[in-house]
Amino acid sequence: MSPPGEFSLIDQYLTGLGATRDDVALGVGDDAAMVQCAAGESLLLALDTLVEGVHFPADCPAHWVGHRALAVNLSDLAAMGAEPAWALVGLTLPAADEAWVAGFARGLDALAKRHGVAIVGGDVTRGPLTVSLQITGYGGAHGLRRDGARAGDELWVSGRPGEAAAGLRIWQQGDRQSPRWQGLLAAFLEPSPRVALGRRLRGIATAAIDVSDGVIADAGHIARASGVGLSLDMHQVRPSARLVACLGGDEAQRCYLGGGDDYELLFTAPPRARSSIRQAARDAATPVRCIGEARVGDGVALQGGESDSLMPAGYQHFSAP
């Protein structure tokens, strides 16, 4: 039996995925999708490419690759306070592996439905295993941006940074069945984009970014875009108990600051917004913590603790290993 062609894979596995939306006039099956935009809304667009062996392990189950491909894009929209709406997906496959595509589609579909995203088109081609996903959402009149932090603002972070990086280490070391580390593995395999929190922070936060390259590296992006310095209070940088149990105190703190792949939200807001932030966090069922402040100056500084030894660089694709 000959392997299926690209159109067969699209028809059988990549059509009708995600939510059913009234604003989709034409989805998969034509030369382009057609959507209807709500009046008075800005559109926000993001795209990420995931390459086997760079963004996910070669032995990562296809289900989680599908989940992750959408999650990283949802996280970008979450950082801008957007409501996700539609996505396009491009698959590059070494071979027409129906079982892999079916697993990928299940993971993608489940997360898309959870967040009301319609998969409206894309492409399948041959080559090294690569997934590209482009997402579009509604940003309201004024979405969150990186460039709004001001001296005197407080710096907050959601969730449990560092756990995803620890989960990747556990996966690579092969200790995947131990009940003790399942929470850390889940943090890597199935990141939870903070879409609900991001939407609730509109009108509260002054700047925001998602944590993909590590807390310090992404704080540096806010500092640079906003023209301020950011100081992290090391007494408030508190890795989770399971992260400390896995790595030990110092390494857990390094992972918290520089591990990456967390897809949490890092954001600034004036001190008067504390109660609104905590209410937004409760409404979104997402833990948050104030870990520092913005100041006059530039860059990112660590206050308290062994600052020099804990200052990781963050991930960059084209830097030396």
For domain 154-310, give the fold. Answer: Phosphoribosyl-aminoimidazole Synthetase; Chain A, domain 2 (3.90.650)
What is the maximum alpha-carbon separation in the chain?
Answer: 67
Q: In angstroms, how far is the first alpha carbon of the chain from the final one?
A: 44
Give the whole-angstrom CA distance, residue 31 versus residue 13: 18
Cβ–Cβ under 8 Å, residues 25 and 35 = yes
Residue in 167, 153, 82 with CA at minimum distance from that of residue 117: 82
Residue-level pLDDT, tens digit, the chain, 321 residues: 566 766 777 777 677 777 888 888 887 777 788 888 877 788 999 999 999 988 888 999 999 999 999 999 999 999 999 999 999 999 999 998 899 999 999 999 999 999 999 999 888 999 999 999 999 999 876 779 999 999 999 999 999 999 999 999 999 888 788 888 999 999 999 999 999 999 999 999 999 999 999 999 999 999 999 999 999 999 999 999 999 999 999 999 999 999 989 999 999 999 999 999 999 999 999 999 999 999 999 999 998 865 444 455 555 544 444
For the chain, the structural domain boundaries read 6-138, 154-310
Same fold, 6-138 and 154-310: no
Its pTM stands at 0.89
- Give the right CATH number for 6-138 from 3.30.1330.10, 3.40.630.10, 3.40.50.2300, 1.10.645.10: 3.30.1330.10
